A and B are shown apart, each in its own frame.
Chain A
Amino acid sequence: MLHDLSHAETERAFHKAIWGIEPPAGVTAPDRADVAQRFKVYRNNVQHSLTRALAARFPVIEQLVGAEFFTAMARVFIANAPPRDPVLLRWGDCFATFLAGFPPVSHLPYLADVARLEYARGCACHAADADPVAPEALTVPDPGALRLVLHPSVALFTSQMPAVQIWQSHQPGSTRRPFARGPDHALIARQPDFTVIVERIMPDTLAVLAELRDGATLGHAATKADPTPALTLLLRHGLIIDTDRGAVA
């Protein structure tokens, strides 16, 4: 009997019907004939709003596969991996894995890496705030003993494919250029003016940045490669937020 449906049962039936075809038992309207059309408003709201939230997080993926395909694919993704949390700015961490295993896009092997890059960009957008040090903080006696504290938004990205170049070529105003063969590396971070940068870097620069991020002294990082390009990038984008003397660490 419908009147015996508990709160939890009603909710379960409603939730199931959002992903189904028929409206759930127990919902009604003045004219019972249009209950299905009325219920469709909820189904559309849920699917449309989540699809748009996903597209906002992965705009280049949407460009690469086209809006219509993206919407259809998003429906599959959302039904299988709905957000687990009302804070949607954290959602999408498993989208890259989904793309890597979604047969209809298996002919686009770079898609998962572009999605990883876009997710990392979003994380940089919302990472904690921290003010950069003045560039003079590096002009000290024995700079080789310095350890750098990097901005919380700093992320190092690597793809075995030209994923960074593909992403860059889908930014407004970018010109079409032939891609250099991968792997691609990038520094992803947020500047003090809140712009998120995706800066394609050479393997040597990546090696130095990885050392610095992991707490190596400048002197140790310099054993990997010339640290100048890495330091220039970090200073130019305001990404060093503190320094300390290596000996204390």
Chain B
Amino acid sequence: MPQLPRTTGLGFKPEHFRDIMAEPGVIGFFEIHAENYMGDGGAPHAMLAALRADHALSIHGVGLSIGGAGKLNADHLTRLRKLIDRYQPESFSEHLAWSSHGAAWLNDLLPLPYTQQTLTTICAHIDQVQDRLGCRMLLENPATYVTFTQSTWSETDFLTEITRRTGCGLLLDINNVFVSATNHRFDARAYLAAFPLAAVGEIHLAGHDTEELPSGPLLIDSHGAPVADPVWALYAEVLGQIGPVPTLIEWDTDVPGYPVLLAEAAHAQALLQSVKPGQSHAA
């Protein structure tokens, strides 16, 4: 699989299709949610084919439930393989989370304990995914609101061990880091210092919402607001350490007009370009 360009990308929204195609190539790459392109035909595929002709593409799955206790959905893996064969993306990524239980699909990225047992299951799932899809995948760190008493691994150690065992790369979502750090009252910089940055193949940036709990703020990973200042600051620091990395702006709810997304992308691009050209990406 060829690599994503080390520039800024945007999550593709069909309502922006005309704006994008009026001036193709302005954005370095687009990312799609795989599950929205699993119909047989129609407008989604027509738009994606046109988009793909002029842009690098990242396929981001939300449906595999890699962190689930049960078996992976073999039909879904087949559909993903078909999508990858058809559109030849530069990257495929999924989440450290689960979304289905038994036969029920819950449509959310749910958290899991970090134990020896979950580690073994997840590594087996990732081996199966990489084998079936014929490519190295990136695994995204989650934003969480609760943790589990039975966890025996830190999230960063857990992710490090997953990359070591499976050879997968990581998708570092810096908004998720900030959300989880705030919610669980730990230091985002300490988390990033422990994060296996050498395995990072892509960065996600997004906005969040804030609720107030009696004990302090609870941040919600809403993807419905501009990237927050502290997240930009963490992003700049990560770039300083590992050099330019393909970076995606995600905006999935209350999606604004295309110019708003372009402005967010331009901000990320300025930070990417401020990184010394000599600094090379370690992954």
Measured CB to CB, the residues of A under 8 A from B are 2-3, 5-8, 10-12, 14-15, 18, 23, 26-31, 33-35, 37-39, 41-42, 45-46, 49-50, 53, 82-89, 125-130, 152-153, 190, 194
Contacts and interface: CB of A to CB of B under 8 A. Distances in A.
A123 to B, nearest CB: 9
Nearest to A25: B149
B40 A128 contact: yes
Contacts of B73: 85-86
B107 to A, nearest CB: 5
Nearest to A190: B42
B216 to A, nearest CB: 8
Contact of A11 (B42, B101, B215): B101
Contacts of B259: none
Q: Is the interface of A mostly helix, strand, loop or mixed?
A: helix
Contact of A7 (B118, B149, B213): B118
B106 A18 contact: yes
A45 to B, nearest CB: 4
B211 to A, nearest CB: 8
A84 B103 contact: yes
A82 B104 contact: yes
Given A41-B218, A84-B104, A10 B63 contact: no
Interface residues of B, number: 56
A51 to B, nearest CB: 10
Contact of A87 (B35, B69, B102, B115): B35
Contacts of B184: 29-30
A87 B76 CA distance: 9
Query: Which of A41, A46, A125 lies at the interface centre, i.e. has the most chain B CB atoms within 10 A of its CB?
Result: A41
Nearest to A85: B105
B220 A41 contact: yes
Nearest to A86: B63
Interface of B: 35-36, 38-46, 62-65, 68-70, 73, 75-76, 79, 98-108, 110-113, 115, 117-118, 121, 145-150, 183-185, 213-216, 218, 220
A75 to B, nearest CB: 14
A3 B149 contact: yes
Given A2-B149, A3-B150, A10-B150, A129 B42 contact: yes
A87 B63 contact: yes
A11 B68 CA distance: 8
B213 to A, nearest CB: 4
B252 to A, nearest CB: 10
B42 A126 contact: yes
11 contacts: A8-B70, A10-B150, A27-B149, A30-B184, A31-B215, A38-B183, A39-B146, A83-B104, A85-B76, A126-B41, A194-B46
B105 A84 contact: yes
Contacts of A3: 149-150
B112 A7 contact: yes
A228 B86 CA distance: 40
Contact of A26 (B46, B100, B113): B113
A86 B104 contact: no
A61 to B, nearest CB: 19
A33 B215 contact: yes
B107 A46 contact: yes
Contact of B112 (A11, A85, A88): A11
Contacts of A6: 69, 117
A14 B150 CA distance: 14
A50 B111 CA distance: 18
B42 A127 contact: yes
Given A23-B146, A128-B41, A42 B110 contact: yes
A163 B30 CA distance: 41
B150 to A, nearest CB: 5
Contacts of A152: 40-41
Contacts of A84: 103-105
Contact of B101 (A12, A86, A89): A12
Given A33-B215, A37-B218, A38-B146, A86 B76 contact: yes
Given A7-B118, A38-B146, 8 more contacts: A2-B150, A8-B70, A10-B113, A11-B98, A29-B147, A89-B36, A126-B40, A127-B42
